[in-house]
Structure 1
Amino acid sequence: MRVRLMRAGAAALGAAAGVQLLHLAPSVVRLAPARRLLAPHLSGPGGAHHVALTFDDGPDPRSTPAVLDALDGLGVRATFFLLGSALERAPALGRELVERGHEVAVHGWYHRVQWYPAPRRDLRELRRTTEAVTEFCGAAPRWYRPPYGVLTAGLALAARRLGLRTVLWSAWGRDWTADATPASVLATARPALTGGATLLLHDSDCTSAPDSWRATLGALPLLAAHCTRHGLTLGPLRDH
């Protein structure tokens, strides 16, 4: 009896481990080499003369308005991947994003990785965020980006079921770090800022170093100037 119980327990553990592995398997595409090899479409490739400008983690009343003003000054529009919990606290700011010509997208309700499989939970959270973006912003989202770029099987299936297209990035500025500066954001992003790139930045420091958004703000004119010099247009994913 004891042997049978041990074997049954081992089989159950093996099955659970297999489910866990399947759940996490897609997350390998967070690594750029794996993404280029296995799922290049997740990098958000676009037109040869366009760079998609995207922001994560907002809206944030402390920082998003300053980013919007800077973009207005540059004549640039972007795609904002919104957190449902943040949007719920600042719904008017979500509406303002759309009124000022920007595109809104889904980043999940909370900024956390769902390490354990729970398909119903994933669908519920993405549906809740999608509905909040549609209601508060007045525009139905087309895009989804998982927090930290960690795409699990449950989230991938939930996004597809909701009609959302998952997109990560091909360039970033590491603007979330405590030592980020406008110059460092440009220097980090510049090697990958070629035609068709999707650039990841942040308009909030809710999951980043305090005040790191100021480095992003200062980098925007530098990034815009770089693109102009190379004949590239900055814009939202919808134009990509």
Structure 2
Amino acid sequence: MNRPRLLAALAAAPAAVAVADILPAATWLPTVRAVLFPALDGRGSRDHVALTFDDGPDPRSTPYFLRELDRLGVRATFFLQGAAVLRHPALVRRMVTEGHEAAVHCWEHQPPWLPRPLADRAGLERAVAAVRETTGTQPRWYRPPFGVLTATRWWAARRLGLQPVLWTAWGRDWQPGADPDSVLAQLCERLTGGATVLLHDSDRNSAPASWRTTLAALPRLVARCRAAGWTVGPLAEHGVPVAPQRFWRAASAWATSADAG
């Protein structure tokens, strides 16, 4: 290969890696995952709605959610940031003692669109270890930041025994200007029996004080579900099917492509 072609190939290599790694992020689109990967869309038992929260634990806000969930008689799944778990272990242990489920979100939020295979793998390993050592239980579920599943994240999740689950309905409660009415309206666009609901118990990565909006919307959401005859609870009780082998074959192929790039 002559010098110009070699330089062009070297310049193209990082772009190829980035494309291969980010390709699975198409599952962020609800229509894509609902059709191809219903388990990833959080589809479970039709008489149940899974209630999930991202970005905790946060000592400023999470205790309010625990108190409100206790008042409502509801248990939920919390997707936790590993670094925050180590900073607030007592809060995480309280969460589990009160019957909630601890799942893995990330180590800390990072932009998902840049190829960082080694850092992504190491961060997910650290987050799993933090949750396991703090709670004494092996986490089952994984939801990546921004809901973006890169090839690296898919493959690392399988290696760690995690099943990725995104969401069926979200409240966009992180946005500036969101209020309880808008959160409930956004959720109801895709809220059905069998849905997995995404909300946030912290404003760590959201608009300031947005958690107060989420907290105010929570009893209305639970009442809406119960009026429809749906039980509200954690993913462990949701009946999400085990990810089929084609799911993991796709993850493996994407990860191999990214590594080869």
Q: What is the CA deviation profile of residues 63-119 of structure 1, one whole-angstrom value per residue up to 9, with x for unaligned ones?
A: 000000000000000000000111121111010110010000000101123433343
Within a 5 Å distance, the mapping from 1:82-231 to structure 2 comes to: 82-231=80-229
CA contact (8 A) 1:43 1:169 kept: yes
Question: Given the two structures, how large is their TM-score scaled by the length of structure 1?
Answer: 0.95
Q: Which residue of 1 aligns with 2:26?
A: 28
Contact 2:183 2:214 in 1 (8 A): yes
Q: Secondary structure, in 3 states, of the residue corresponding to 2:133?
A: helix
Alignment RMSD:
1.3
Instruction: Give 1:53's match in structure 2, choosing from 51, 54, 58.
Output: 51
SS for the counterpart of 1:40 is: coil
Conserved? CA contact 1:79–1:104, under 8 Å: yes
For the residue of structure 1 that corresponds to 2:119, the secondary structure is helix
User: How much does 1:11 deviate?
Assistant: 1.7
Say whether 1:63 aligns with 2:55.
no
For structure 2, which runs of at least 5 residues remain unmatched after alignment? 239-261
CA distance in 2 between partners of 1:236 and 1:41 (Å): 15
Deviation at 1:187, TM superposition (A): 1.3
5+ long unaligned stretches in structure 1: none
Superimposed CA distance per residue, residues 130-151 of structure 1 (whole angstroms, 9 cap, x where no aligned partner): 0100111222110000000011
> What displacement does 1:18 show?
1.9
Secondary structure of the residue that 1:54 maps to in structure 2? strand
Q: SS at 1:234's partner residue?
A: strand
- Distance, in Å, in 2 between the alignment partners of 1:116 and 1:55 is 25
For residues 119 and 58 of structure 2, the distance between their equivalents in structure 1, rounded to whole angstroms, comes to: 25
Q: 2:3 matched to which residue of 1?
A: 5
Question: Is the contact made by 2:112 and 2:146 (CA closer than 8 Å) also made in structure 1?
Answer: no
Would the aligned equivalents of 2:42 and 2:195 in 1 still touch at CA under 8 Å?
A: yes
Contact persistence 1:96–1:137 (CA under 8 A): no
Aligned residues: 238
Question: What CA distance in whole angstroms lies between the structure 1 residues aligned with 2:74 and 2:134?
Answer: 23
Offset from partner CA, 1:155-183 (integer Å, 9 cap, x none): 11000000000000010111111211122
Query: 1 CA distance for matches of 2:188 and 2:16?
Result: 40
TM-score by length of 2: 0.88
DSSP 3-state at the match of 1:42: coil
Alignment-derived partner of residue 18 in structure 1? 16
Distance 2:142 2:6 in 1: 40
Tell me if the contact between 2:125 and 2:160 (Cα under 8 Å) persists in the aligned partners. yes
